[in-house]
Amino acid sequence: MNAALKDLKPAKVWFYFGELMNIPRPSKHEEKVSAYLQNFGKEHGFETLADEVGNVLIRKPAYKGYENAPGVCLQAHMDMVCEKNGDKQFDFLTQPIEAFVEDGWLVGDGTTLGADDGIGVAAALAILDDDTIEHGPLECLFTVDEETGLTGAANLHTDWLKSEILLNFDDEDEGEYCIGCAGGVDTTVAINYTTRPVPDGEAAFRVKVSGLTGGHSGDDINRGRGCANQMLTRILWQATDEVKIGLAQIDGGNLRNAIAREAWADIVVLKEMADQFRQLVMTMGEEIKFEYRSTEPNLTIEVEEIEQPACLIDRATQFNLLNAMYACAHGVLSMSREIENFVETSTNFASIKMDGKQIHIATSQRSSVESSKWDAARKIEATFRMIGAEVKHGDGYPGWTPNPTSRVLKVGVDTYKKMYGKEPVVRAIHAGLECGLIGEKYPKMDMISYGPTLRGVHAPGEKIEISTVEMFWNQTLEILKNLK
């Protein structure tokens, strides 16, 4: 076990979380953790199933006296977002996650921690591994690829689950129950380009935006955080207009569901305009840092001289690209008219990459209103169609319609009030949850989502508040006990 977990409570939950920290589980690479879960179920003598995409279902009989209680499914996803700081040497496919305890939090050491949703998987395993817990017929569903496509939930067999109630362990704030979520769709762009030689008499520079907070493109989209891709584009667009730069390389962001924290571009400019270019970057950098002074205190915008690149993007593509990217929306598009302070529709300018032949841009749109979700996606499509780019939309995933009269919600609220002497928050979230897809396949399923407090998910330094894990654990045991 990781030394940082040694004395944490409840011991069994942290033991299994430590096990997961040692198992590589990036999205779309869950083979080892899926095998671990299957072995766990079989070694404990439980009925254990695995499907063709890697989802695992483990069934445990009811505790004595609870045979007639409603069946309950505990659900969590086994994959994790793999993000690291630029200066962190780390291989998510081979190395165990490193963490440390600081001020009551368990913190990923320069990488994501995988508490999203490793802590949910660990809690489910701890319940399976404890014969003293009172519960009805139990199913534990562990899904794959939640973070990059909800593939596991999307491919879930419609005859797999027997439960009437589902407890999803993928919420990030202790003291709340989620009863609804936004749907989403990814919109990707491919732009062909040719190259041209670097003219004589050019100086080469790298412009870099870094130090941003980043975060979840659903939960954090309304927190006023900066998007590195937007900031970099803003500088390059202005520099193209004022000092006629040539663009060689551009790279920013990584995952479609993470707000871009870093972005860089290699450019050339006439040597006699090099000082003007440096001054432009410095001036714009100060302007942007002032605008984001309260939400991005660690923002850094820098320019450094580099060796001349081998070639440049052709002028027409550079012109079209920078104009389209500058026009590309990012952030909150509309707030709910029914729920106070609830984001209804948003879009995330997630990443830009080059492969030598094409420039690839990834965005994601979310909305609790299906028509608004597609309207946002089509606006991104329209922006890039104007420059002749190839635009594709993913299949998308549905939202989860709130049910305020839910039986399990009532049990959860009553249990929480009795245990902690206060009302829990009941809300819908702007992030996507597997509950939407599971509810589509099992429309009679009664569902809530909750969990301990996590911060900085999808970003290096992701952390989980240790004290809330025990609260989440005790709360879950009481819910299971009171669903008799």
CATH value at residue 359: 3.30.70.360
Confidence of residue 396 (pLDDT cuts 50, 70, 90): confident
CA dist 361 and 36 (Å) reads 35
Boundary residue ending a domain (393, 423, 441)? 393
Which are the contacts of 260, defined by CB distance < 8 A and separation ≥ 6? 212, 214, 227, 228, 229, 252, 253, 254, 349, 350, 351
Rounded to the nearest 10 degrees, how much is the dihedral formed by the CA atoms of 154, 125, 109, 148? 0
Average pLDDT over residues 166-183: 94
Strand pairing category for 358-367 and 138-143: unpaired
DSSP-assigned beta bridge partners for residue 177: 426
Which are the contacts of 478, defined by CB distance < 8 A and separation ≥ 6? 415, 418, 419
CA dist 449 and 465 (Å) reads 18
CA dist 446 and 424 (Å) reads 18
* 369 and 255 part of one domain: yes
* 112 and 191 part of one domain: no
DSSP-assigned beta bridge partners for residue 377: none
CA dist 268 and 288 (Å) reads 23
What digits encode the pLDDT tens for the residues 454-465? 999 888 999 999
* 49 and 189 part of one domain: no
Average pLDDT over residues 129-151: 95
Of 116, 146, 262, 462, the active-site residue reads: 146
Q: What is the per-residue DSSP string for 402-459?
A: --TT-HHHHHHHHHHHHHHSSPPEEEEESS--HHHHHHHHSTT-EEEE----EESTTS
Average pLDDT over residues 326-330: 97
- 294 CB neighbour count, 10 Å cutoff: 7
pLDDT at 289 over 70: yes
* 168 and 190 part of one domain: no
Residue 431 near residue 366, CB atoms below 8 Å: yes
CA dist 300 and 76 (Å) reads 36
| Structural domain count of the chain | 2
pLDDT at residue number 219: 86
Domain that holds residue 276: 185-393
- 173 CB neighbour count, 10 Å cutoff: 20
* 152 and 8 part of one domain: yes
* 134 and 256 part of one domain: no
Verify whether residue 146 is a known catalytic residue: yes
pLDDT at 3 over 90: no
Q: Kindly give the interhelix angle for 315-327 and 228-243, rounded to the nearest 10 degrees.
A: 130
Confidence of residue 52 (pLDDT cuts 50, 70, 90): very high
CA dist 309 and 94 (Å) reads 33
Q: What is the per-residue DSSP string for 332-355?
A: EEEE-SSSTT-EEEEEEEEEEEE-
Confidence of residue 255 (pLDDT cuts 50, 70, 90): confident
> How far is the first Cα of the chain from the last one, in angstroms, to the nearest whole number?
35
Question: Residue 250 carries which DSSP code?
Answer: E
pLDDT at residue number 179: 92
Buried-exposed string 401-421: b where 16+ CB fall within 10 A, e elsewhere: ebeeebebbebbbebbeeeee
* 347 and 464 part of one domain: no
pLDDT at 384 over 70: yes
Question: Residue 307 carries which DSSP code?
Answer: P
Question: Residue 3 carries which DSSP code?
Answer: G
Phi and psi angles of residue 67, each rounded to the nearest 5 degrees, phi first: -60, -30
- 330 CB neighbour count, 10 Å cutoff: 21
Residue 47 near residue 58, CB atoms below 8 Å: yes
Confidence of residue 1 (pLDDT cuts 50, 70, 90): low
pLDDT at 339 over 80: no
Report the run of H or E that residue 165 belongs to, with start and end: strand 165-168
pLDDT at residue number 340: 81
* 96 and 57 part of one domain: yes
- 327 CB neighbour count, 10 Å cutoff: 16
* 351 and 470 part of one domain: no
CATH value at residue 89: 3.40.630.10
CA dist 318 and 268 (Å) reads 13
CA dist 200 and 250 (Å) reads 21
What digits encode the pLDDT tens for the residues 71-110? 999 999 999 999 998 889 999 999 999 999 999 999 999 9
DSSP-assigned beta bridge partners for residue 209: 263, 301
DSSP-assigned beta bridge partners for residue 185: 365
* 211 and 129 part of one domain: no
Phi-psi region of 388 (alpha: psi -120 to 50; beta: other; left: phi over 0): left
* 316 and 303 part of one domain: yes
Verify whether residue 170 is a known catalytic residue: no
pLDDT at residue number 195: 97
Question: What are the Cα distances from residue 187, in Å, to 9, 190, 257, 346?
Answer: 42, 10, 12, 13
Name the amino acid, one letter, at 272. Answer: E
* 293 and 361 part of one domain: yes
When the pLDDT of each residue in the chain is averaged and rounded to a whole number, the result is 95
Boundary residue ending a domain (393, 426, 443)? 393
Percent of the chain with pLDDT over 90: 88
Phi and psi angles of residue 191, each rounded to the nearest 5 degrees, phi first: -125, 120
CA dist 442 and 59 (Å) reads 18
Boundary residue ending a domain (375, 393, 411)? 393
Of 19, 30, 79, 220, the active-site residue reads: 79
Tokens of 380: 């991104």
